[in-house]
Amino acid sequence: MLIETFDNEEALASALAERLIDAVTRSPRLVLGLPTGRTPIALYRELRRRTREGRIDWSDVHTFNLDEFVGLGGHDAGSYRAYMQAELFDHIGLDAAHIEMLDGRAADLALECERYERAIAGLGGIDIQVLGIGANGHIGFNEPADGLHARTHVATLLPGTRDANAALFGGDPARVPERALSMGMGTILSARHVVLVATGAEKRDAVAGMVHGLVTPTLPASFLQVHPRVTVMLDRVAAARL
């Protein structure tokens, strides 16, 4: 793991935006894995700004998001699809046909998970997977457990994770769906390069466990230790226990 610490989340977001844009410039057909949550908001703001000012061509890039709530689609305000449209997709000129998200309203969720795996494989896999981390060490919605799913699956969310997502649902954790679709650990670990971003004090312990602890399903992000190319980008506060 390559660990990088930045003075604040703006500096981090700026560095990562620059690298992603460099990667798109070098490889216009880049396949990008994208996260949601509070952490990537600064990154998406920076990508919007740089795209506006620099005429970056995203039209051949493909994206795959990590996860989506079961029962929600693009027209639901709390969905990750709605978040992605508002934060990034509506602003940078991606081809709508190149944007892949799990459909939380699919009639057959198992089939939807299989479709997603096939779509990723069909494009030759993910080149750069950007990830956040839950305060409990989850990545995507791979929650701490005795065992983890290798592939895209239906995940049951832990109470703390529903609390952490309440802001998308008017602050009410009870309105956060109990289940989500998520890439699995193997899906994530198959990306050629993984970039994990963490900011803020509530991520300190998860980050320390991920970097220095045992590889354990009780801290799913610790599995990134076995990946050959992981970059961990932290602000000083999230890096405090390293």
Task: Catalog residues that contact ligand GLP under the rule CB under 6 A.
Answer: 35-39, 66-67, 132-134, 140-141, 161, 164-165
Q: Residue 238 Cβ, how far from ligand GLP at the closest point, in Å?
A: 10
Annotate 62-92 with DSSP letters as a single string: EEEESEEETT--TTSTTSHHHHHIIIIITTS
Residue 42 to residues 8, 9, 48, Cα–Cα distance (Å): 11, 7, 10
Cβ closer to ligand GLP: 38 or 236? 38
Q: Residue 135 Cβ, how far from ligand GLP at the closest point, in Å?
A: 7
Cβ closer to ligand GLP: 141 or 223? 141
Set 65, 136, 142, 165: catalytic member: 136
Q: How many residues does the chain have?
A: 242
Set 62, 68, 138, 149: catalytic member: 138
Q: Is 143 a catalytic residue?
A: yes
User: Closest residue (Cβ) to ligand GLP?
Assistant: 132
Q: Is 75 a catalytic residue?
A: no
Q: Find all residues with CB under 8 Å of 198, minimum gap 6, and list them.
A: 39, 132, 133, 206, 207, 232, 233, 234, 235, 238
Q: Is 146 a catalytic residue?
A: no
Cβ closer to ligand GLP: 62 or 138? 138
Count of CB atoms situated within 10 Å of the CB of 240 = 15
Q: Residue 111 Cβ, how far from ligand GLP at the closest point, in Å?
A: 22
Report the SS3 class of residue 2: strand
Set 112, 143, 149, 235: catalytic member: 143
Q: Find all residues with CB under 8 Å of 136, minimum gap 6, and list them.
A: 143, 144, 158, 160, 161, 206, 219
Q: Residue 104 Cβ, how far from ligand GLP at the closest point, in Å?
A: 12
Set 9, 46, 62, 67: catalytic member: 67
Q: Is 98 a catalytic residue?
A: no
Please list the residues that pair with 65 across neighbouring strands: 34
Catalytic residues: 67, 136, 138, 143
